[in-house]
Amino acid sequence: MPLSGRTAYWDSVGSAVAEGLFSKRRGVEGKVPLISGESVTAICNAEPAGFILSLSSGRLAHLALRDPAGRPGITVTIMRGYGTGMMGGFLGALRAGSSRRDIVAVRAGRILRMGEREIIVATARGNFSRWQANRSGTYANITDIDARDSILSAIEQVAPDEVQLRSKDAFVIVDAAVGENHDAVEGDNHDVDVLVLASFMPTPNSPGALHVLVSLKFRSSGRLDVCDVHVVRCYTTPLEEAKTRPRLYLPRPGRTAFLVFSRAVVLVSTQKPDVDDDQMNEDTEDRGAFEDVVDFRGDLNVEIVGSGPEDVMFDSTPRSDMMGSFTSDAGATGAGKKIRNPGVMLVARGAGIVRLETFDLEPVKTRVPTEPVKVKSKIEQAVFYGVKEDVCRHRDPMNPKK
C-alpha cells in the first residue's frame, strides 16, 4: 500500500487465494518506514537481490522477501545517499533524499554474484548513480555523477539549431533503460550501457517539444561518458503532465528502443550499419538511425495507461527466465527456434490490449556496388520481355536463360 507502506507477501498465488480458508496465515506482512507525507511511488524488480522502492521524497528503500535462513519475511532497509555511509541516520537520509526528489528511473542491471545485483538510478535533473544491492539488505553507492551539462553539450553539437531556440531549464530526463553488455568482464569492474530518453519542454519560441535519445556508458573507473545522441524527428508532441509518464523500453536483444507516450509509440533502431572503412561515403555518413511512430488519432480518444516490454523468446528458453534473468544468452546466440519477436504490450484506454513488435533483424552491412547500374538497360529488358507473349511470367527478365 503506497500511502501507508504496508506490504504483504505470499510465496505462491495459491497461498494468497487460500488465505481465508485456513486459520493459519500463509503470508507475511511488513511495513516501509515512511516519514510524514511520504509515499511509495514505484517498485523495481531487482531479483535475486530483492526489490528497490522509490519514495516520493527521493529516498530509496531495499525490500527483501526472505530472512537470512531463507524463510519468507519482509525486511526494509533505507538506502543512504552517496557519502553518508551505512549509519548516516535520519538526517543523512533526508540529506540524501533532498538531492533525489525527482527520481524518474530505477533500473536493475546485471547480476554480479549470488544474491547481488547492480542498480542504476536517474533523476529528472540529470543525476545518475550506480548501486550494488544484496538480498541481505546491504548495499553500496558506487558512483554518483551529475551528467546534465555533458548531455546538453552533446545535444548542442548534434542539433545546434533546435537547442538554440530552447531554454536549458526546460531540459528534463524522462526515463532510462539499462542495456546489455555481453563483453563485460566478470566481477565489479565493468562498463554499463544506459539509454536515456530526454526532452525539452516547449517554450513560446519553439514550435513543439524536442525528444532525444542519449546513449551513456558508466565506466568501471567511475566516469560517465556520452557516446551517442539521436534526435527524434518523427514525434514532437509536448509531454502532458496530467497523462501517463512516458516510458523507454529496450527489450532483448536491445536493437530497437520503444518510446511509449500517452498517445503514440516511437520505434528507434539502436544499431548502426556495419560499414567498412573503405566503403565510407557521404550517403552512409548522413544515414541516421531508423525511426517510426505509431500515433493514435485524436478522435479515437485512445490513451495508453500502462505498458511493459517483451523480450525475444526461443523455444529453448523457459518463459520464467525472461522476467528477471539477464544471464541467459539464448536470445543473443540465436539458439533454438524463435517463437516471439521483441516488442511492447500496451494497455490502452478505449482500445484494450495492444501488442507492438519489431522484427529481430541481424545488423545489415552496407554494400557499395562495384559497377554502376545502368537504368536504361533494365528498362529495355523490362519492356522487351514484358510484351513477349511466349515468355512465362515466372522467368527472370534479367536472365533470359532461366
For 286, the grid coordinates are 548522413
For 32, the grid coordinates are 516501509
Indicate the pLDDT class of residue 97, thresholds 50, 70 and 90: very low
pLDDT at 400 over 90: no
Query: Of residues 120 and 23, which shows the higher confidence score?
Result: 120
Q: Which of 46, 73, 40, 33 is nearest to 58 (CA)?
A: 40
* Residues 122 and 195 sit within 8 Å (Cβ to Cβ): no
Tell the burial category of 52 from Cβ atoms under 10 Å away from its Cβ (0-12, 13-18, 19+).
buried
Q: Which of 115, 139, 114 is nearest to 129 (CA)?
A: 139
Residue with cell string 518506514 = 33
Q: Which of 304, 199, 201 is nearest to 243 (CA)?
A: 304
Indicate the pLDDT class of residue 121, thresholds 50, 70 and 90: very high
Residues in CB range of 343: below 8 A, 6 or more apart: 251, 258, 309, 310, 355, 356, 357, 358
- Which pLDDT value is given to residue 10? 85
Mean pLDDT, the chain, rounded, equals 78
* Residues 190 and 184 sit within 8 Å (Cβ to Cβ): yes
- Which pLDDT value is given to residue 189? 65
- Which pLDDT value is given to residue 283? 44
Query: Of residues 15 and 257, which shows the higher confidence score?
Result: 257
- Over the stretch 173-213, which tens digit does the pLDDT of each residue have? 999 999 876 444 555 568 899 999 999 987 766 667 889 99
What DSSP character marks residue 272?
-
pTM: 0.75
- Which pLDDT value is given to residue 149? 93
Average pLDDT over residues 347-351: 89
Highest-confidence range of 120-124, 239-243, 317-321, by mean pLDDT? 120-124
Average pLDDT over residues 46-64: 92
Choose the weakest-confidence range: 85-89, 300-304, 345-349, 355-359: 85-89
d(CA 246, CA 201): 13
- Which pLDDT value is given to residue 187? 56
d(CA 204, CA 212): 20
What is the chain's Cα-based Rg?
Answer: 25
